[in-house]
Amino acid sequence: MSRPARALCLVLLALALTTTAARAVRLAGGDALSAHGERLWFRWAYRHPGVAAQLARARPLLAEGETLYLQVAANPDQVRWLRVMARYHLPEQELGGILEPGAAPPAPGTVVPVDLGVRAGGSRPPGGGAGGPPGIGEAGAGWPREAAAVLLGAAIAVGIGLAALRPGSLRDALAAAPLAGAAGLALLTAALYPPWRLGVPAGPASVLGVAAALGGGLAWLARRTGRGDAMEISAGGDGAEDRLPLPRPDTRGPATVTSAEAGDGAEGRPRLPHRDSPGPVTDTAPAAGPEAAPGARCWRVRRVRPAAAAVWLPAAAALAAFIWKLTRVPLWSWDHYAIWGLKARRLFPGGALDVGWLVPGEHARPDYPLGLPLAWRALALGAEPGPAAFETVHALMAIALVVLVAQAARRLAGGGLGGGRLAGGAAAALAAASPLLWDTESLGLADLPLALFAVAAVAAVAPRLAAPAAAGTLRGGGARGAAVDPATAGSGAAARSATADGRAAGARGGCAGPPLWIAGACLGFLPWLKSEGSPLALLLLATLAVSLSAAAAEAIGAPGARATATARGSVRRLRRRRALLALAAPAVVLGAAGLAATPALGAREVGFFRGDWAGRGLARLGDAPRLLEALAADLLEAGWLGIWPLWAVSAVVLAVLLVRRRAGRPGGAAAAAGLALSAAVALQLGLYAATYLVSYLPPDQHAKTSFFRVAAALAPLALLAAACALGGAGGTGRLTRATTAAAAPLPDAGGRG
């Protein structure tokens, strides 16, 4: 990494650390509501904190399916709020209406009196007002049981993912846990939907049974498609779905010519390829030491010096402040009570999944996907989630997101050769301090999960993009040996040096990534989470396809991967087909299943496009400049810590790098990946702006209530694009020298080159 890039990373680390310290001071002083969404909406959405406790006390006294009436002195605006709270906190009952004090119910039902002036603790504040910052410091009842259930559910999801990833040691498993948990949760949620839809009760038995079957199947599949010795020219791929079925060299004997076979003094020379082999000879002997352990992949946890580990301190501090804040601020978001949390609590009356009430006209948005409510239920082992469960899931997903951002940014910026630690620490620190985590408006919503699975897909592919030139000379990404060109294989010293240099480069970072279907599964789960998850999944699928193609071209064109022109073209085409199929197939299948599970998908009377949306869009074209100015002002707020200006500048840098380093040359893959990722983020932001223009809601009001929050889900992807710019700007020099050293012929004892 260049010196300016290192200096920029240090500035960003200092900015994140000082911002976290200032926030912690304010939090300790009782100022917990300083983020964008909290300032705008907290007091409106969480106006009467004592209502939840009153409804919770009444719930055990009510029968399932019973009609109830709330008796309360409320104005029309409070009536709407009370209806949402009653449906959320009493999911098994039907609300008949809101009655004035002393009024009789119009039909048989139970009357539940509610006092809007009562605090959450059950006492009235002096003077009858709401008093103080409502809800600060409240502790949810039953949180140890709910939190323990969620932790067990998360461990089950991680176990499912590890069955497919097959890490080589406990430390490797801990490093792979975030990606494994994301992939495992996506697969578990999708696998649970059919039995739950068919009437299987939601509970620990169904969750554990499906998880056991899924984990066992993945473990069996991983063993059947484990490491082989097929020859490959790849961008660091190691999964069976990414292996090239090329004609193999003759490996029936030792790797070098023996004295019994030598008749012309060729003893010790590497074996030349079989006559049908189009590529270089690959040393198939396993490398000594832990680097060659079966299943040891790209998440090796290396011991680092304390000074080097200090780059992760700002991210750890920001996460600690974030978790501390979760204990101080209640679950308050309006969309959680009205849509996402309501579905998680109301979808399973009597334990069985029921989507019959999600019809057009229902306030809970029946056109929204069901993946997140089902995932909450899966992590809670089928139980009805409460505030502690939602907060625990939110904290776990935040930690996983920050770790995945750190891992992916380090790969993309450093090329796997040790230069990306600063970039990884800076990206992780900014992600941990960003509004996506610090603003508790996203607590209990789908924005953080959307960001998590999008970043998980990029992180799963990042090792294949980290050092494609080095990986092009390595078998399986570096842990197996280095390729030796037949034209330069004139001495045993050359072969031994190339093999040793290849293993050394692999130890520095040229290693294999997870199977590509892991990334595809994470992409396929995006349509399960939010309506905008479908276009985001398509954009990221195209981004990763472009990135893998650029990495493959760079690997094939790297020194040491000197196949013939015909073989090079066939390898490139075959690798692209197989890699893209492995990536796209699970994404398409899982995404289509998520869309099919959406109850009111495509209904004209629901959603933001109801009515004459095209006519509205044409009529509002004149308002587009004013709308774009308001959106830009949101992205330039101080709470972003400069993430969006950094992303914009990085996109320009990546465009320049792509022009200077074309595909197939060192650095071209990093520039192509970063520019494609920047374009995906820009297009998704443009999609949001276009939606505001055609929405049935007023554009300014719609943008004010949602844009800042939905843009936060794209901030981690913007940080990964910036990491690509850091790596492309200064990280290719060492890569080129390493690969050249691994491929160059060395003179033997007789002085021949």
Q: Specify whether 448 is located in the same domain as 501.
A: yes
| Mean pLDDT within 602-628 | 81
Would residue 558 count as lying in a domain?
yes
| Mean pLDDT within 506-528 | 78
Q: Specify whether 89 is located in the same domain as 170.
A: no
Q: Specify whether 680 is located in the same domain as 582.
A: yes
Q: Which of 536-545, 679-688, 739-748 has the lowest mean pLDDT?
A: 739-748
Q: Alpha helix (H) ranges present in 198-292?
A: 204-224
741 pLDDT higher than 80: no
If one compares 73 and 749, the residue with the highest pLDDT of the two is: 73
Q: What pLDDT does residue 101 have?
A: 86
528 pLDDT higher than 70: yes
The answer to whether the CB of 468 falls within 8 A of the CB of 558 is yes
| Positive or negative: CA dihedral 124, 125, 130, 135 | negative
Single out the residue of 567, 560, 597 nearest to residue 197, CA to CA: 597
Q: What pLDDT does residue 493 have?
A: 43
Of the residues 221, 256, 273, the one at which a domain ends: 221
Q: What pLDDT does residue 236 have?
A: 34
Amino acid making up residue 575: R
For residue 213, count other CB atoms closer than 10 A to its CB. Answer: 11
| Mean pLDDT within 169-173 | 87
* CA 719 to mean position of chain CA atoms: 13
Query: What pLDDT band is residue 33 in, cutting at 50, 70 and 90?
Result: confident
Burial class (CB in 10 A: 0-12, 13-18, 19+), 398: buried
Query: What pLDDT band is residue 209 in, cutting at 50, 70 and 90?
Result: very high
Query: What pLDDT band is residue 361 in, cutting at 50, 70 and 90?
Result: low
If one compares 698 and 475, the residue with the highest pLDDT of the two is: 698
Would residue 123 count as lying in a domain?
no
Q: Specify whether 113 is located in the same domain as 172.
A: no
| Mean pLDDT within 361-366 | 78
747 pLDDT higher than 50: no
293 pLDDT higher than 80: no
Q: Specify whether 93 is located in the same domain as 216.
A: no
Q: Which of 182-196, 415-429, 617-631, 695-709 has the lowest mean pLDDT?
A: 415-429
pLDDT tens-place string over residues 233-272: 233 333 333 333 333 334 444 444 444 444 444 444 444 4
Q: What pLDDT does residue 122 have?
A: 40
Share of the chain above pLDDT 90, in %: 44
Cα separation, 137 vs 368, in Å, equals 32
Q: What pLDDT does residue 444 have?
A: 94
Would residue 206 count as lying in a domain?
yes
Q: What pLDDT does residue 231 have?
A: 25
> Whole-number mean pLDDT of the chain?
77
Would residue 5 count as lying in a domain?
no
Q: Specify whether 495 is located in the same domain as 636.
A: yes
Query: What pLDDT band is residue 662 in, cutting at 50, 70 and 90?
Result: low
| Mean pLDDT within 567-589 | 76
607 pLDDT higher than 80: no
Query: What pLDDT band is residue 558 in, cutting at 50, 70 and 90?
Result: low
Single out the residue of 741, 745, 574 nearest to residue 230, CA to CA: 574
502 pLDDT higher than 80: no
Q: Specify whether 57 is located in the same domain as 170.
A: no
Cα separation, 27 vs 33, in Å, equals 8
Of the residues 200, 221, 242, the one at which a domain ends: 221
If one compares 380 and 48, the residue with the highest pLDDT of the two is: 380
Q: What pLDDT does residue 303 have?
A: 57
Q: What pLDDT does residue 339 have?
A: 93
What DSSP assignment string belongs to 148-212? Answer: HHHHHHHHHHHHHHHHHH--SSHHHHHHHHHHHHHHHHHHHHHHHHHHHHTTPPPSHHHHHHHHH
| Mean pLDDT within 491-506 | 40
Share of the chain above pLDDT 70, in %: 70
Max mean pLDDT among 276-285, 491-500, 618-627 falls in: 618-627
Q: Specify whether 155 is located in the same domain as 113.
A: no
What DSSP assignment string belongs to 426-481? Answer: HHHHHHHHSHHHH-GGGTTSSHHHHHHHHHHHHHHHHHHHH-HHHHHTBGGGTTS-
Q: Which of 139-143, 229-233, 383-387 has the lowest mean pLDDT?
A: 229-233
124 pLDDT higher than 50: no
Query: What pLDDT band is residue 486 in, cutting at 50, 70 and 90?
Result: very low
421 pLDDT higher than 60: yes
Measuring CA to CA, how many Å separate 137 from each of 243, 328, 436, 685?
Answer: 54, 4, 21, 36
Q: Specify whether 443 is located in the same domain as 531.
A: yes
Query: What pLDDT band is residue 632 in, cutting at 50, 70 and 90?
Result: very high
Give the HSE-up count for residue 68: Cα atoms under 13 Å, Cβ half-sphere: 26
Count of domains observed in the chain: 3
Max mean pLDDT among 165-179, 270-284, 664-678 falls in: 165-179
Q: Specify whether 491 is located in the same domain as 611.
A: yes
Cα separation, 345 vs 373, in Å, equals 8
Of the residues 221, 249, 265, the one at which a domain ends: 221
The answer to whether the CB of 97 falls within 8 A of the CB of 103 is no
Query: What pLDDT band is residue 232 in, cutting at 50, 70 and 90?
Result: very low
Q: Report the length, in residues, of the chain.
A: 753
24 pLDDT higher than 50: yes
Token duo for residue 110: 């139970």
459 pLDDT higher than 90: yes
Q: Specify whether 437 is located in the same domain as 518.
A: yes
Q: What pLDDT does residue 568 have?
A: 55
| Mean pLDDT within 719-726 | 91
Would residue 590 count as lying in a domain?
yes
654 pLDDT higher than 60: yes
| Positive or negative: CA dihedral 235, 238, 239, 243 | positive
Cα separation, 439 vs 11, in Å, equals 23
427 pLDDT higher than 80: yes
Q: What pLDDT does residue 94 have?
A: 87
Would residue 20 count as lying in a domain?
no
Q: What pLDDT does residue 472 have?
A: 40
Max mean pLDDT among 77-86, 94-103, 147-156, 262-271 falls in: 147-156
Q: Specify whether 484 is located in the same domain as 393.
A: yes
Q: What pLDDT does residue 5 have?
A: 84
Q: Which of 306-315, 354-363, 499-508, 672-681 has the lowest mean pLDDT?
A: 499-508
Cα separation, 95 vs 91, in Å, equals 10
Would residue 506 count as lying in a domain?
yes
Query: What pLDDT band is residue 658 in, cutting at 50, 70 and 90?
Result: confident
Would residue 36 count as lying in a domain?
no
Q: What pLDDT does residue 168 have?
A: 80
Q: What pLDDT does residue 529 have?
A: 96
Q: What pLDDT does residue 570 have?
A: 56
**483: β partners:** 282
If one compares 615 and 226, the residue with the highest pLDDT of the two is: 615
User: 686: which residues sit within 8 A by CB, 6+ positions away?
Assistant: none
Q: Which domain holds residue 440?
A: 312-743
| Mean pLDDT within 189-208 | 95
Max mean pLDDT among 204-208, 298-302, 414-418, 465-469 falls in: 204-208
484 pLDDT higher than 60: no
Query: What pLDDT band is residue 182 in, cutting at 50, 70 and 90?
Result: very high
pTM: 0.82
Token duo for residue 191: 């696998």
If one compares 239 and 320, the residue with the highest pLDDT of the two is: 320
User: 731: which residues sit within 8 A by CB, 6+ positions away?
Assistant: 1, 413, 414, 415, 417, 419, 420, 667, 670
